[in-house]
Chain A
């Protein structure tokens, strides 16, 4: 059971917008620790998608955006494209464990 909770799957049609929530606690997201998001294509290493809650590394399309409020962070993908079909993971730091922690991952399906 992951410290950060994500839905196992979300889906949307091409062009639509989907949001993936990541729920933590007062020991991690709610404590103010930054949240990061990663995209993992099948058989590939993860790729950093969002850092510092809402910043995009160079080269990441602006269709991807991140936000945080209270104990929950969210990744929004706008204008869905077939190539966005992948697993998405949130990550933060947990002060009760003194560990970096990941969400369980969300599989995004483009219908």
Chain B
């Protein structure tokens, strides 16, 4: 089945630093999504990408849908303490009716 490799698994950064994380797939995806999960809560959708090469921003967050359609990147600029959490990528394959596949997450710690 489809698998997503998300890296890095964890990051420890200082407040104000920029962050970059990525996801790669063994197969082509039609849609890429990025979620953030706070402790004790469900994931919250941050950014959705629907087209190869698409670059979308949401405040300090920017995500890109890779040209090969097998990868996606999420960047966070000028990190703040409330950026702490686990970030998940998710993708949907070409079938349109396929289930979402999730990466295992990147745990972000921001030191003030």
Partners in one complex: no
